[in-house]
Amino acid sequence: MDIPTFDDVKAAHERIGDYVHRTPVLTSTFMNERIGAQLFFKCENFQKAGAFKARGASNAVFGLDEAQAAKGVATHSSGNHGLSLSYAAGRRGIPVTVVMPRTAPDAKKAAVRGYGGTVVECEPSTSSREAVFAEVVAKSGADFVHPYNDPRVIAGQGTCSRELVEQVDDLDAVIAPIGGGGMISGTCLTLSNVAPKTKIYAAEPKNADDAARSFKAGHIIADDAPNTVADGLKVPLKELTWHFVSNHVEDILTATEDEIVDAMMLTWQRMKIVMEPSSAVPLATILKNPEIFAGKRVGVIITGGNVDLNKLPWM
């Protein structure tokens, strides 16, 4: 297992600086008064391609040597990672192929193509996806950039909390959503090095609580097809992300679907920012567990803002 180090985070930050935003940190008097804590929202919804995933994808793409870069990169993702990898590859001017189920929304396919990516469709099953993806890689020699279980990706995501601790002093805690664990792993990697006293919480939908159950059990539990409005958080932990979660996370908190949608609406209404359902899970768990956060200075990572405005969860 190739575990990234904090030097990798620093190298990533240097490498991707021209291609990703140093995103702003927003605060809200309303939220602070409501919760009795000081919350600092790190707004990766304002990131390139609309999500923190641009960090890890850019680090992978811009770290390739020329020979590999010429062959391009590939991934399977119908979400932000596919979009972000297309963005990064487009910026470097190298080929990128994203394998997506033919049932994925046309808007997501169009968005990948909008950044210059090639979409290859598979059937909506794991076996088809793996077969189609293997063929893509065999033909093109493209480098596989996994959405999260990749040291380059984790080091890239670690640049987010590195900025956060530069932007905000003395954080008692940082909380981020957990799906496959890429953002949380990057957060662990950075904070364990530069702010070891800052506690790290992960937030997960109750309907997809495999990470919370893994955390309690002490080994990875993977669910089959969980169902949650937080569609970025359905994927399971893998060995690299489990390494960071099991070693550095303080706790994994969960929220119901209603709690997630309520927190999402509250954020849109009060902070006037567009964010994904997945990004509302941390606030939902904070509202649910005020005793953990009362009086504390808490960094909250808003992971992304790519939503279908015609299919909002409260419609």
* Residues making contact with a copy of itself (CB under 8 A): 24, 26, 43, 45-46, 50, 265, 268-269, 271-275, 305, 309-310, 312, 314-315
Contacts of 113 (CB under 8 A, 6+ apart): 119
As measured in angstroms, the least distance from the Cβ of 48 to a copy of itself is 8
Nearer residue to a copy of itself within complex by CB, 45 or 198 = 45
Nearer residue to a copy of itself within complex by CB, 127 or 310: 310
CB nearer to a copy of itself: pick between 184 and 271? 271
What is the three-class DSSP state of 8? helix
Nearer to a copy of itself, 1 or 315 (CB): 315
Contacts of 162 (CB under 8 A, 6+ apart): 9, 10, 13, 190, 194
- The answer to whether residues 203 and 175 touch, using CB atoms and an 8 Å cutoff, is yes
Query: 68-101 b/e with 16+ CB inside 10 Å = b?
Result: ebeebbbbbbbbbbbbbbbbbbbbbebbbbbbbe
Closest approach of a copy of itself to the CB of residue 19, in Å = 11
CB of 261 to a copy of itself, least distance (A): 11
Closest separation between CB of residue 312 and a copy of itself, Å?
A: 8
Angle among Cα 15, 16, 21 to the nearest 5 degrees reads 150
User: Closest separation between CB of residue 154 and a copy of itself, Å?
Assistant: 24
CB 54 within 8 A of CB 17: no
Which CB sits closer to a copy of itself, 217 or 315? 315
Q: Burial of 232 by CB count in 10 Å (0-12 exposed, 13-18 middle, 19+ buried)?
A: buried
Residue (of 229, 3, 179) closest to 77 by Cα position:
179
Taking the complex as a whole, the smallest distance from the CB of residue 45 to a copy of itself amounts, in Å, to 5
Quick one: 127 or 269, whose CB is closer to a copy of itself?
Answer: 269
